[in-house]
Every structure is written in C-alpha cells, then in structure tokens.
Amino acid sequence: MSVAQIIDRAENRRAPFRNGLGLSLLAGLTMWACYPPLDLGFLAWLAPLPWLMLIRLPRPVRGQVLASYLGGLVFMLSALQWMRYGDRLMYIGWIALASYLAAYIPIFIGLSRLAVHRWKFPLLVVAPVVWTGLECFRGWFLTGFGWYYLGHTQYRWVELIQISDLVGAYGVSFVMMLFTAAIALQIPSAWYVRLGLIPGLSRQNEAATLDAHSPRRYLVLATLCLLAVVGYGYGRRAAADFSPGPRVALIQGNFRAALRTPPSEYQDSFLVHNELTGYAVQHQPDLIVWPEGMFRYPLQESAPGMSRADLAEVAPYFPVDSWANTDVQDTLEAMSEKAGAALVIGLGAYVASPTQLDQYNSAQLIRPDSGMQTRYDKLHRVPFGEYIPGARFPLLASVVPRNFGLSPGKAAALFEYQGWRFAPVICFEDTVPHVTRRIVRSIQRQDESGRPVDFLVNLSNDGWFAGSSEHDQHLITAQFRAVELRMPLVRAANMGISSIIDGDGVVLTPEVFLTKDAVSGEPRPETYREPSGRYRRKLEAVAVHTLPLDSRGSLYLWWGDWFAMTCQLATGGLLLTCLPIFGRRSRAQASSPGEEAGHA
C-alpha cells in the first residue's frame, strides 16, 4: 500500500467488534433487570445508554448490527424465559419470539444513526421518536405484542404514567427515552476513548465533535419535559372523583394449564371454583367472576332448523343428543340464582351452523333475575396458541389438524347488571393497547344510549406459566389499560394475580382476601402480598372489593394511538431514505468490487 493508503486506513479504523458487543450486552442485561422478576425499574432511565452511545459514535463499531442484535437477544431471551413453562413445544416459540423482538434494537440504532449523522437531526429528538415508533409498530404487527415497553418499567411511579390517558403507554416510553438521550449527550468523549470506541489518528477530531454536540440545555429541556409530565399526573390524580360501584368477587383457582385437559379435571375445576364462590357469597358481592376457561364443560348451541343428520355431519365428535342437552345452562343459572349475584364465567362455546362448527373462547354473563344473557367471544386470538396464521393455505392446511384452533369472535359485547355497564376482555387482550380501546369504542358507538362503559372485566388463565414473572408483567400491562381508558379493571386469573385496578392504574388491596386453610379446609383471611411485597399466586383464593368508578374522560379513548402513530410515520419516512443509499452502494460494489472489498 502507498503511504496515503496507510494513513487513510489508520484514520478510518473502526472500533473492534468486541467493544460494541460489550456495550450492547450491558444494555440488554440492564434492560432485563428493569422488569420482573428483579423489577429494578429505576435502572430503565440508564439502561439504554450503551445503545445511545453506539448511535453517537462518528463511525460505527465493526459488526454493529450483529453486536446490537446480540444485546437485544440477551434482553428478550431473559425477559421471555417464562414462555418455556407452557409446554415443551413452547421452547420453540420462546426462541422464535425473542429472535424476532431482538431485531428491533439494531433497527433502532441503524435508523437513529442515519438521522443523526446523515440528516443531522439532534439525538434528543431522534431517539425518542424512533424508539416510540418501533414500539408502536410491534404493538400492531403480526396481531401485536404489547409487552416489555420501556414505559412499563415505571408502573410504580403513578404520577408519571398518568400521561397515558393522552398518548397511551407509548408516551411514557417517549419521555423516558427523551431524558435518557439527554443524559447520553452529556457523556464526555474521554469515556469513549477509554472504552476503545474512538480508535485511529483522527481521535482528537472525533472527540471534539462529540463534546461540541453535548450542550447542557438539552438536559434542561428534558428535565422540564419530565417535570411537566409529572405535574400533569399530580393534577389528574387530584381531579379524580371515584364513586362506589359494584361489589366484585374474583374467584381464583390454582390449576396448571396444559394443551390437553383430562376429563377427570372437569369436575375438580368445577368443585373448587364453586366452593370458592360459596366463600365469596358470604360477603354479598353484586358480581362474581371466574377465570378464563375454568368452567370446563362446553356450552353448545346450534342454528335453528338443523337436523340430527346436519349436526352429525358438521360436528362428528359430539354425540348428537348433546346439542339438545341444557345441563350447562341450567347449572349456570342455578349458580347465579343461588348466589344472588351476576356471574361472568370463562368457558368454551361450540356453535354449529349448516356449514361449519365454530369453537370460541368465551365469557358468559348469567344474571340471577333473567338467567343466561350476553356471551362474548374472544376477538384477539394468540397466534400459534389459539390459531395458526395462514392455516387455510393449501400447504399449511395439509399439516395443521382439521379441528385445531379457535374461531374469532364477531364483535365486542356489552354486559349490564343493575345499571352497571362493563366490557369483558379475555386473556392477553388486555396487553395490546389498541385492542382493548377498540372493544370499548365499538361498544360506545353501537349503543344508542351513549352512556359510557363503567369498567373492564378481564378473564385470564395464567396457569400456563407456573407462578413466573409472566404473572407480574401481565398485571403491569393491565394497569396501563386502566389509565389509558380512565376506567377501573378487574382481573380474575387462574393461579393469579387476580386484582382490582382503579382508574389511576393503582392495584388496590382487596377488602376481603380469603384462601382455603390446608388443614381445616375452611376459608381463612390472608394478606394480599407476601412479606417481600410480592403478590401472592399459585393458590386458591377469593378477592372481594367495592369497585371505584371513575368519572374522568380520556383523550386516548377517543383519539387512540395518534401520538405513537405519528412517531411511527416519522420512523417509516426515515426508513424510506435508506433505499437510495443501499442502491448507490450496490452500484458502487458492482462497478469496483476490488476497491470496495479493500475498503471494507
């Protein structure tokens, strides 16, 4: 090589791969520590700093995409480890989902670097916009995965998360990343040099560039924004005017979920939940809620006019006489009448029509005064758990079992009792922001009275996950739904954590919390939390509480994800600017492959 080439190579030498990998792994591990089970949420204000440092570098480290992906993979594999408890086959789902979610980290770093270094946008703006845009995208893409948002780490800081009624949980993530970016801009160039991130002869020039783009005013602006958000939270909480609503009893069994439930467990499940219901009745609830699918006996309905031959053809696995059997309906109505309270029961519903048999994951309302009422069939199914995407295509149809999966529900349902109006959501529907909002909005649009929905009822079966951190994270996401929609939410969850959440997103300690004494078999009072502060789970329990109704309105309920969608559009526009760059690189490599290979 000539002297000029030697000098050029020395000046443009990039930091080694191991340095970038170390930073990214540090970020990934710290991010994992922010969520349950460690639940060190305060670390989330600093956890993304290593990734932001990679964005600030004038030249990317070697293998930047791989290094940042591996950091994201460590985070997601650790956070989602609870998936493996569901079934041995879930190991595949765990690795696949973590591998997919990890890709958002190199995309975040790559797009942010493009905006900062090519288009000269300030990191203070770029980082929160791109991060929020990508969170929003994964909340919608492939039916949506609304877990492990950055803002979820702050569920304890109740005043901070009140902004969710304006901009959703995404807005909390935006404010956090804005503040973290302001901190990242204060990191002096000397740190980069010590970490070996600025090698080469041009070290002084690049260090000077980093220091020149670190004005203190950015930190001041971010601090003022944070103070304004917290001030809004204090104001909204001060304006709360909770009024007493129905007295709700949550019934929590302790059954390990499995892909196939043996018929012998049907009666066990019924007897346990029926006994717990008896404990609850002593405290005079207005509404009693069983978890998802805990009434094991199926509810069967057939279209009018179907003959025995029609039923035998469309539902060959059911005895024909079972479609005329009313034991399930009679049992549920007798339970409600005996309890003197309305019941919301999680069960499976089979509906036969002349052309097909539909199987639904359902919530059934039964009233003591009028018997069987509205049934809600779950709208938002879990991919691969409740249905196989694309199963109707010939290639997949040949390998997917004919009767596998659930049918999607047709519409949201409004439950009413004694003047109270409430909307049921099942399982993970309360983890996806736009799904829960859409359910409430569709009810309000269809209802001629124009009266609002008073509260949400979630029926979940978290017995798949054996008391792991999934239970905590599921509850955390539900807390944000309560703030976004400004309505209380009650959760009856098999194995736990059954909970009552007010319109501020606060998990309330039940007025009554009973468990079954292991020796006497009688109900006994128990503390809602363990001495460590951890919510109790993996036990049979009854929680009874008078629900506080919330009269405040919500901009998010009316406008939805307007803020996050704006960030997503900006991120998409930034992505489009990459296409000409990739095109020029391809043409340059085709015209002078030797020169490009030497430069690489």
The dotted CATH code for 243-556 is: 3.60.110.10
Chain mean position to CA 29: 20
Tell me the one-letter amino acid at 281.
V
Rounded Cα–Cα distance for residues 351 and 314 (Å): 10
Terminal C-alpha separation, the chain: 15
Task: Give the position of tokens 């493996």.
Answer: 84
Task: Give the position of tokens 């149809």.
Answer: 397
Q: Does position 383 have pLDDT exceeding 70, yes or no?
A: yes
Between helix 123-140 and helix 562-576 the angle, nearest 10°, is 110
DSSP 525-590: E--SB-TTSPBP-SS-EEEEEEEEE-----HHHHH-SHHHHHHHHHHHHHHHTHHHHHHHHHHHHH
Spell out the domain ranges in the chain.
3-239+561-599, 243-556
Q: Is the pTM for the entire model greater than 0.75?
A: yes
Tell me the one-letter amino acid at 283.
H
Rounded Cα–Cα distance for residues 504 and 482 (Å): 7
Amino acid 278: pLDDT: 95
Between the CA atoms of 326, 331, 334 and 340, what dihedral angle is there, to the nearest 10 degrees? -130
Q: Residue 515 forms beta bridges with which residues? A: 524, 541
Q: How many residues are listed for the chain in this entry? A: 600
Amino acid 450: pLDDT: 72
Rounded Cα–Cα distance for residues 421 and 417 (Å): 7
Q: Which two tokens stand for residue 98?
A: 């973590």
Classify residue 143 by burial, with Cβ atoms within 10 Å: 0-12, 13-18, 19+.
Answer: middle
Buried b (16+ CB within 10 A) or exposed e, 477-508: bbbbbbbbbbbbbbbbbbbbbbbbbbbbbbbb
Amino acid 1: pLDDT: 63
Amino acid 500: pLDDT: 98
Rounded Cα–Cα distance for residues 387 and 389 (Å): 6
Amino acid 581: pLDDT: 60
User: Which tens digit of pLDDT belongs to each residue from 401-454?
Assistant: 555 578 999 999 999 999 999 999 999 999 999 999 999 999 988 876 778 899
Q: Does position 95 have pLDDT exceeding 80, yes or no?
A: yes
For the chain, what is the mean pLDDT?
Answer: 90
CB 491 within 8 A of CB 516: no
Instruction: Mention every residue, 6+ apart, whose C-beta is less than 8 A from residue 2.
Output: none
Q: Which two tokens stand for residue 486?
A: 């400004």
Amino acid 10: pLDDT: 47
Amino acid 403: pLDDT: 56
Phi-psi region of 394 (alpha: psi -120 to 50; beta: other; left: phi over 0): alpha
Of residues 45 and 206, the one with the higher pLDDT is 45
Q: Which two tokens stand for residue 592?
A: 């002078």
Rounded Cα–Cα distance for residues 219 and 565 (Å): 26
User: Which tens digit of pLDDT belongs to each residue from 234-287?
Assistant: 999 999 999 999 999 999 999 998 877 788 888 999 999 999 999 999 999 999
Task: Give the position of tokens 């043409």.
Answer: 587
DSSP summary character for residue 381: P
- The arithmetic mean of pLDDT across residues 94-107, rounded, is 96
Tell me the one-letter amino acid at 463.
G
Strands 342-352 and 357-367: antiparallel
Amino acid 37: pLDDT: 96
Amino acid 198: pLDDT: 84
Q: Does position 202 have pLDDT exceeding 90, yes or no?
A: no
Between the CA atoms of 503, 507, 510 and 513, what dihedral angle is there, to the nearest 10 degrees? 150
The overall longest dimension of the chain from CA atoms, in Å, is: 94
Q: What stretches of 324-429 adopt beta strand conformation (E)? A: 342-352, 357-367, 371-377, 415-417, 420-426
User: Which tens digit of pLDDT belongs to each residue from 530-589?
Assistant: 999 999 999 999 999 999 999 999 999 999 999 999 999 999 999 888 776 655 655 655
Q: Does position 598 have pLDDT exceeding 90, yes or no?
A: no
Rounded Cα–Cα distance for residues 474 and 19 (Å): 35
Between the CA atoms of 326, 331, 336 and 340, what dihedral angle is there, to the nearest 10 degrees? 120
CA distances, 30 to each of 44, 400, 500, 579 (Å):
8, 40, 30, 33
Amino acid 257: pLDDT: 87
Of residues 205 and 93, the one with the higher pLDDT is 93
CA distances, 247 to each of 96, 280, 295 (Å):
43, 11, 22
Phi-psi region of 368 (alpha: psi -120 to 50; beta: other; left: phi over 0): alpha
DSSP summary character for residue 118: I
Amino acid 381: pLDDT: 85
Strands 342-352 and 295-302: parallel
User: Which tens digit of pLDDT belongs to each residue from 491-531?
Assistant: 999 998 999 999 999 999 999 999 988 777 789 999 999 99
CB 517 within 8 A of CB 524: yes
Amino acid 533: pLDDT: 92
Task: Give the position of tokens 């991010």.
Answer: 31
Q: Residue 352 forms beta bridges with which residues? A: 302, 357
Task: Give the position of tokens 């001030």.
Answer: 231
Task: Give the position of tokens 């196989």.
Answer: 388
Rounded Cα–Cα distance for residues 10 and 12 (Å): 6
Strands 371-377 and 455-461: unpaired
Rounded Cα–Cα distance for residues 236 and 571 (Å): 31
Using pLDDT thresholds of 50, 70 and 90, give the confidence band for residue 387. low
Share above pLDDT 90 across residues of the chain, in percent, rounded to a whole number? 76
Amino acid 517: pLDDT: 83
Rounded Cα–Cα distance for residues 45 and 32 (Å): 13
- The arithmetic mean of pLDDT across residues 208-236, rounded, is 89
Buried b (16+ CB within 10 A) or exposed e, 391-407: eeeeeeeeebeeeebbb
Can you tell me whether residue 411 is helix, strand or coil?
coil
CA distances, 6 to each of 10, 11, 132, 557 (Å):
6, 9, 43, 61
Rounded Cα–Cα distance for residues 568 and 570 (Å): 5
